[in-house]
Copies of this chain bind each other. A is one copy, B any other.
């Protein structure tokens, strides 16, 4: 029998889910194993990636709704990427919705897997650096304690604990990866407090004004969407034995200041682009961001072969390649 690699993705219509599906379609394999099927799940219709040489199915389904998870896992996918979640702002605004999506959704999925005899898939769970909370040291070590200060971070930390316990008990083979802030996030500016990290480069690159609400010495760990997808794919193929009983890993992020972001933007697109950044100090956002992590020492992830970007110029290049067709509009 040829090796099969059937993949299930929850949250397949989200920004990362969509890029993961495109990557899988492009690679045609996960690790050394050719992909034989991909199923995308989300509460809105996911896009089927172009050019896949394997069947791609999709379903509109809410894994947090009772009974749904069992139907999703009955195909016994070899790898399950569990990305479905309500993000930080949403989980703060809607307490019940956040716990339902982020805790019940995860629990339902893992429980449905547990109920299937002899089925122990690799489950890659997208967690977040928001499982950590201030006060922070300048550089946060891998074994920093879990002290989330948001409902989203709390729910993801609970998901990590459940995934780790069910892995130890032999019901799943879980890996939780804690993603840093994704930058450059494609799309349009949103109301998230972290939005400016992406806005201040994405908008000027296409000739639009943008607002910088914090000072230029703000420092924060970021990774490109492409790096996030790299992390997911690497987590899917990692030897679980190397993780032992500590199944949650903080992912590499480039620790960058706003000033360094702006320098990289100037280098790429000139002063005209930088001039589109309007400084408008927002004390509320500045206050929120003051409590955020500045840098992580992600030694475990590095040892396990996870690598992020080394410069912000690299992150900008990824954005130009993946979102702007390789061309900087108006540059030159």
Contact = CB atoms under 8 A, between A and B. Distances in A.
Contact of A149 (B148, B154, B158, B168): B168
Given A95-B169, A161-B154, A146 B145 contact: yes
A15 B2 CA distance: 58
A145 B133 CA distance: 12
A27 interface: no
B169 A164 contact: no
A147 B245 contact: yes
Contacts of A164: 148, 154
Interface in A140-180: 143-149, 151, 154, 157-158, 161-162, 164-165, 168-169
Contacts of A278: none
B165 A148 contact: yes
Among A95, A143, A157, which residue has the most Cβ atoms of chain B within 10 A?
A157
Contacts of A146: 145-146, 157, 161
Contacts of A148: 161, 164-165
Assembly stoichiometry (copies)? 2
A246 interface: yes
A149 B168 CA distance: 8
Given A154-B161, A157-B161, A149 B95 contact: no
Contacts of A165: 148, 151, 154
A149 B148 CA distance: 21
Nearest to A154: B165
A133 B161 CA distance: 12
Interface of A: 95, 133, 143-149, 151, 154, 157-158, 161-162, 164-165, 168-169, 245-246
Given A147-B245, A161-B161, 5 more contacts: A144-B145, A146-B157, A148-B164, A154-B161, A158-B158
28 contacts: A95-B169, A133-B245, A143-B144, A143-B145, A144-B145, A145-B145, A145-B146, A146-B146, A146-B157, A146-B161, A147-B245, A147-B246, A148-B161, A148-B164, A148-B165, A149-B168, A149-B245, A151-B165, A151-B169, A154-B161, A154-B162, A154-B164, A154-B165, A157-B161, A158-B158, A158-B161, A158-B162, A161-B161
